[in-house]
Structure 1
């Protein structure tokens, strides 16, 4: 079996993509068996379920909606970014820099943008934040699915939407690498926190290899601290699926308030 690995998240620029790839290559050099870094050639739900997946990033929402049955948790990164608390993160609620909105409550009747229906940071925590303000399951006048956090930021910046929830790590990278885009938007709040994007492996990967991967993750931070700083990586925590139950809790609280989807 040829093992594969990919890091499909947080590549907000080509330069940052190269940084992540170089870090991943260094991690894999410390682990046997040999593994090939790839670009996912299918939608991520299928890619994450590949039996030869040695290492990848996933979103916590699909993890807790079936993916956990076919993968193992390796670790969860701890990022140095506003809105992160250890291995937990939140999303930044952003509007246009010149918009009149100063709070989420003031956005009633505005237009929302979000990345994907199964995103924890772009949809689930956003829904949870809006739920207390909704009336009969409604709050926004229109909702736009953009396909990515970067797409949501651009929709807000370009005036196609008024508010979006953006993973705080992504937003920190945008501030670092795309300052002109960051200047076009303005944070007006933060969502609740939940466990960050997990690093996963197929359930076919042996336990000894999982432990070797965990060791390699931390070793790569120690040997190149400047790169770790650019990637905003502080370390890794080993969380359980029970920790990720927090994501379902946020979903349940929104549904209990009668707000089942962004609307």
Structure 2
């Protein structure tokens, strides 16, 4: 803690949150043991001289928190808020290449899902339907489908309704229940649910893919000291390259972890700009 001045001139103690480590994007309860094994392997690569570390790997951080605060030692975050609300708050550590449909080298996409029993066969068929969006700050749930739909929308609303559900799982559940007609779901979310909770996606099918996007990166706070940032980057690369860690990564469907740079993530805002130039600045 540190002293800060109050209005009456007295000193108060500023509470510094404890360091946190988490992976909030893909944290199904069924996968928690896998993430704990991943964290333990990363800590092993950081070594005994790594300094203070988070006491535990946390599972309660929201997928899109309000900010990347100084307490964030290790996390993973969606690429769209990375380019918007999180600018100046983070440092990139590495980027995974996932082994799942829809993924390429350090890239992913979103799948447009509908009920298996619905008549929809293409994106054009979704005109005038009810669309589930997990968050207006989501790359896979909002930004990528916006770019996909922009050439078809003709500068007009495409859906009859866009409902913000809060999470990808909620979006899938509402489509499966018939409350909404379609959703755009991160392909890795779909892959993990297909593997660990197949009943949740059994009544859904993919009718289209969005354009590709840089994969969701590992990050640390801008407040993390440079030496610790370099140690985290080296540990992630070591985790990816050493055979003893391969079972941990394979269980999470991570084929490799490579260096991350800002340049590929600019493409995410290019999609936003291109959709606006096509007359479709909002997913509507």
Please give the alpha-carbon distance, in whole angstroms, between the structure 2 residues aligned to 1:43 and 1:101.
Answer: 30
Rg larger in 1 or in 2?
A: 2
Which residue of the other structure, out of 107, 119, 134, is the alignment partner of 1:115?
134
Please give the alpha-carbon distance, in whole angstroms, between the structure 2 residues aligned to 1:132 and 1:184.
Answer: 29
Q: Secondary structure at the match of 2:94?
A: strand
Q: Equivalences for 1:208-227 in 2 at 5 Å?
A: 208-221=227-240, 222-227=243-248
Which residue of the other structure, out of 53, 67, 78, is the alignment partner of 2:72?
53
1:6 corresponds to: 22
Q: Is the 8 A contact 2:24 2:61 kept in 1?
A: no
In structure 1, list runs of 5 or more residues that go unmatched. none
2:269 corresponds to: 248
The runs of at least 4 consecutive aligned structure 1 residues that moved more than 6 Å come to none
1:190 correspondence with 2:229: no
Specify which structure has the bigger relative contact order, considering alpha-carbon pairs within 8 angstroms and separated by 6 or more residues.
Answer: 1
The CA deviation string for residues 78-111 of structure 1, in whole angstroms up to 9 with x for no partner, is: 1001111111111011110111011001111111
1:33 correspondence with 2:51: yes
1:102 correspondence with 2:132: no
Please give the alpha-carbon distance, in whole angstroms, between the structure 2 residues aligned to 1:130 and 1:96.
Answer: 19
The 3 A distance-change label for structure 1 pair 247 and 42 is closer
Q: Is the 8 A contact 2:96 2:254 kept in 1?
A: yes
Q: Is the 8 A contact 1:7 1:21 kept in 2?
A: no
The CA deviation string for residues 141-173 of structure 1, in whole angstroms up to 9 with x for no partner, is: 111111111111111111111111100111111
Please give the alpha-carbon distance, in whole angstroms, between the structure 2 residues aligned to 1:165 and 1:81.
Answer: 17
RMSD, matched Cα: 1.8
1:181 corresponds to: 200
Please give the alpha-carbon distance, in whole angstroms, between the structure 2 residues aligned to 1:92 and 1:147.
Answer: 17
The 3 A distance-change label for structure 1 pair 160 and 125 is same
More helix by share: 1
Please give the alpha-carbon distance, in whole angstroms, between the structure 2 residues aligned to 1:42 and 1:83.
Answer: 24
User: TM-score, structure 1 length as denominator?
Assistant: 0.92
